[in-house]
Structures are given as C-alpha cells and as structure tokens.
C-alpha cells in the first residue's frame, strides 16, 4: 500500500468520502487522491514523495504559485499581530479600496469568508433590493452550494429548476429558473414571461465549473440589456475569473458592467476570503446600512486580508496578465498540436490564465456540448498524466489554472508528457 492509499483509507473512517470537498475524492476519474505535503512555485509533492507540475493551483487562488514568499511573509506578519479580532482593521479598508480601484463596477464591497458566502449574500441582496424572489442561473454554472443555487434545469425548455442536491427544498428550487448558457434567445423569452418577478441573473462570465466554456459576447450583452429593461440585478460570479482573466476580471475583458460581482480564490491569495460588491444604491441595502442581513465572525480575517492584499499588489504590475495569458495559450496550443500529431480527437482553449481540455473535436459552447465529450478518454489521460508527474483537475468538468511561476520547462515537460500519453491513447 502506498502512503497515499494508507491516508485515504484512514481519512474515510472519519471524513465523508475521505475529503472535505467532493471533487477531491477522485470519484470522477477513479483511483486514490493524492495527499499533498508541500507546494513550492508551480510544483506540489505528495505523501509518497512524488513531485508534480500543478495545474489546479488550489482550484484557482494560486496565481503566484505555491508559497509565494511575499504572500507567506505577509500572512506570517499578520498572524504575529493576532489571528482574529471580530472587529474592524485598517487592512480591510486597504483591500476594499484596492478592489474598488481595480474593478470599476464596484462602488462598495463587503468581505466574507468564501465564494459560496459571497454568491449566497449577493442573491439575498438582489432579492432584498428588488423585492422579487425569482432568480435566473445557467445550466452548468456553479455558484457555490447555497440552496437557491444547487438547482438544475427542470424538464422543458423554460421551466423552474429542480434541486440538484438532496436537502434543497423543492419550493426554494422552484424560485430558480435554469437556462442554457450562451443562449440569448432563451434569456429573452424568460424575461418576456417572468420579467416582473425576476430579482437577478447570476452568471459565471467565463464558465469554469463545466470544464471551461467561453461566453458569446452577445450572450453577455443580452443579459445586461434585459436586466436593465426589466429592473433585475445582473450578478457576475467572478470567484474563478476575478483577477485571473485580467486585472479588471472578466467584466473588464468583455466590457460589461454588472450591478453586483462576487469574488473568491485570488482575492484571498490562498486563504479563505470572498467578497461581494457593486453599485452603491444596492450595497446600501446591506446591514447595518440597510435591511438585508449578512454577517460573519471571521469576515475580513486579518490573515486572509493580508494574503489577498499581498497577492493583488503583486499581480497589478503592467504586463502581468498578458504574460500569464500568453503562457496559458502556449500550453493549450502545444497540447493541441501534440494531439494532432498523434491523431487524437482533442481540443483545448484558454481565457487569460485559465484553460479547458476537451476530448471532443472542438471546444464546447453549452453544457449539452460539454456532456458529449469523451469522459473515458479524459480519465485515461488524467491518470497517465499523473503517472508522468502532471497534476490536472481530477474531473473532466473542471477548468485548469496556470500560475505566473510555471516556467518554460514546466510547459515543455507537460506537452512532452501529453504527447506520449496521446500516443498511447491512439493505439
Ligand atoms: N469548487 C471546486 C470545484 N470547482 C472544488 C474546490 C475544492 O475541492 O477544493
């Protein structure tokens, strides 16, 4: 038995599935999850001492790689001054000011402890602001695990959703309309039928939880226009895309100004931190200014704020995101070329520092298309890459992430490993 296997067997006795977040259990790809002992730069080491090039990056936060010395020092210094006060600190203002400066749609922000908390709070705020209950989300987009958001499409083209988890009340799910991603006509129809009841539209402006699906520009533009016409709040869930696809996030990249935005991952630099913010008139409804309640003992935690500030200050240098995007593009181009050499049906695409890999003839644009990709081929690819020392997300339905410290040698080694794996897959 390997040390990873030993730890997994032990973990399953006291932790459901042996993990603290389901996708980590490798259920989608099969096999034993790797238990990590250390990360440095673009690399991680598992409990058996094996080293991997890491393209998960803690699912997005680690845009500077593992254990960036400046981020670690900032956290250490904050920790030495006190772990938590449950009272305001100056650093929270600095982070709020920086967010407002970097993302033009933000007039005000509230710091929370996770992306789930941020989206859950933004939905409540949109409902409180509009006095309406219904929300629109898109099939395949994930916005954390709050009840209103764990909802999948019901039957029929335009129906209210069904819970996608046991424990979510059907009555709550019924308030959520689930539409196809990248389908502006479906959105227009939904507003035509239900416009007066719709509090908000929430969207991942680049979907990253059904593998990576890039948005059609007219889809984003339609939702901005329809929300304006019907008095609904447009929420961009930038937990994944925030500060990753550009310094101004996806809203900067696509030139759309949402009413509210949610952040997580990079904003906390690897520590638990989320944020939601937006228009002043809407944020003015948040307690204690207004009647929409939201609170948290660890909100604005000093260590998380220190890590977030150190990360954002380091990535706001000119050219940072261009270099990250170029590197990510080089990776996906190299992988596509390797697959072509070996005659494997495969596509890949990048948006800024995030990427998607698809065992399909071309990159999908909807959830239905994502579902037609060859999942078995992905699973074989995943395990073969793992054997070659490349750690990809353990699911065909997750995006990948490149950091600023992935070097040319890492990219070349990854592409060479993939070429060998594609050769095997083609046999
Ligand atoms: N929310 C992540 C998947 N898109 C998983 C996070 C984790 O397992 O850490």
* DSSP string covering 5-72: HHHHHHHHHHSGGGSSSGGGG-TTT-SPPPPEEEEEBTEEEETTS-EEEESSGGGTT-TT-BT-HHHH
Active site residue 265: yes
| Distance, CA of 23 to CA of 26 (rounded, Å) | 6
> What residues are in contact with ligand 1 under a 6 Å CB criterion?
21, 23-24, 59, 209, 398
The CA-to-CA distance between both ends of the chain, in Å, stands at: 30
Active site residue 142: yes
Residue pLDDT, tens place only, 144-198 = 999 889 988 776 555 678 888 999 999 999 999 999 999 999 999 999 999 999 9
Q: What pLDDT score was predicted for residue 57? A: 98
For the domain covering 69-315, report its CATH number. Answer: 3.40.640.10
User: What confidence tier does 239 reach under pLDDT thresholds 50, 70, 90?
Assistant: very high
Closest CA to 394 of 136, 22, 26, 18: 26
Question: What integer is the mean pLDDT of 90-108?
Answer: 98
Question: Measured in angstroms, how far is the CA atom of residue 116 from the centroid of ligand 1?
Answer: 11
| pTM, 2 dp | 0.97
Q: Which atom of ligand 1 is nearest to the CA of 398?
A: 4
C-alpha Rg value of the chain to the nearest Å: 21
Q: What pLDDT score was predicted for residue 208? A: 96
User: What confidence tier does 244 reach under pLDDT thresholds 50, 70, 90?
Assistant: very high
Residue pLDDT, tens place only, 10-31 = 999 999 999 999 999 999 999 9
Q: Which atom of ligand 1 is nearest to the CA of 209?
A: 4
Mutate which of 16, 22, 29, 59 to test ligand 1's pocket (most atoms within 8 Å of Cβ)?
59
Residue pLDDT, tens place only, 52-63 = 999 999 999 999
Among candidate residues 265, 327, 391, 410, the one labeled active-site is 265
Helix (H, G, I), strand (E, B) or coil at 417: helix
What secondary structure does DSSP assign to 145-190, as a single string?
S-GGGSEE--SSTT-B-EESSTTS-HHHHTTEEEE-TT-HHHHHHH
pLDDT of residue 427 exceeding 90: no
Average model confidence (pLDDT) for the chain? 96
CATH 3.40.640.10 in the chain: give the residue spans.
69-315
User: What confidence tier does 420 reach under pLDDT thresholds 50, 70, 90?
Assistant: very high
CATH 3.90.1150.10 in the chain: give the residue spans.
3-67+318-425
Query: For the stretch 217-233, what's the b/e string if a residue is b when 16 or more beta carbons lie within 10 angstroms of its beta carbon?
Result: eebbebbbbbbeebebb
Question: Measured in angstroms, how far is the CA atom of residue 18 from the centroid of ligand 1?
Answer: 15
Active site residue 152: no
Q: What pLDDT score was predicted for residue 71? A: 98
Q: Which atom of ligand 1 is nearest to the CA of 22?
A: 8
Strand order across the beta sheet in which 347-351 lies: 347-351, 354-358, 400-401
For the domain covering 3-67+318-425, report its CATH number. Answer: 3.90.1150.10
């Amino acid at each position: 038995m390997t040390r990873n296997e030993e730890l997994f067997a032990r973990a399953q006795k006291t932790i459901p599935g042996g993990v603290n977040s389901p996708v980590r259990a490798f259920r989608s790809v099969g096999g034993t999850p790797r238990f990590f002992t250390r990360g440095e730069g673009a690399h991680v080491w598992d409990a058996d001492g094996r080293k991997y090039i890491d393209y998960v990056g803690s699912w997005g936060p680690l845009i500077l790689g593992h254990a960036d010395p400046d981020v670690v020092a900032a956290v250490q210094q904050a920790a030495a001054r006190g772990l938590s006060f449950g009272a305001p600190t100056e650093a929270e203002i600095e982070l709020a000011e920086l967010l407002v400066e970097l993302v033009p749609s933000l007039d005000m922000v509230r710091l929370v402890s996770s992306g789930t908390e941020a989206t859950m709070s933004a939905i409540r705020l949109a409902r409180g602001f509009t006095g309406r209950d219904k929300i629109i989300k898109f099939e395949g987009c994930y916005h954390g695990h709050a009840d209103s958001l764990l909802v999948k499409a019901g039957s029929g083209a335009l129906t209210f959703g069904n819970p996608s988890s046991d424990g979510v009340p059907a009555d709550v799910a019924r308030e959520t309309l689930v539409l196809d991603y990248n389908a502006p006509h479906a959105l227009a129809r939904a507003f035509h039928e239900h416009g007066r009841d719709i509090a908000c539209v929430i969207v991942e402006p680049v979907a990253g939880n059904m593998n990576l699906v890039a948005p059609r520009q007219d889809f984003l533009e339609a939702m901005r226009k329809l929300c304006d016409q019907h008095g609904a709040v447009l929420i961009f869930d930038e937990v994944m895309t925030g500060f990753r696809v550009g310094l101004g996030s996806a809203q900067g990249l696509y030139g759309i100004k949402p009413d509210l935005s949610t952040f997580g991952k990079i904003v906390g630099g690897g520590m638990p931190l989320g944020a939601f913010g937006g228009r002043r008139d809407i944020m003015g409804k948040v307690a204690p200014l207004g009647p929409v309640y939201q609170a948290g003992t660890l909100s604005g935690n000093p260590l998380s704020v220190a890590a977030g500030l150190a990360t954002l200050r380091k990535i706001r240098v000119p050219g940072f995101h261009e270099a990250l995007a170029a590197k990510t593009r080089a990776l996906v181009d190299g992988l596509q070329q390797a697959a072509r050499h070996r005659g494997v049906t495969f596509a890949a695409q990048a948006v800024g520092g995030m990427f998607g890999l698809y065992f399909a003839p071309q990159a999908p644009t909807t959830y239905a298309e994502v579902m037609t990709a060859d999942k078995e081929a992905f699973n074989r690819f995943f395990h073969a890459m793992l054997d070659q020392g490349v750690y990809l997300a353990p699911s065909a339905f997750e995006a990948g992430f490149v950091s600023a410290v992935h070097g040319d040698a890492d990219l070349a080694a990854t592409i060479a490993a993939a070429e060998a794996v594609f050769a095997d897959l083609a046999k």
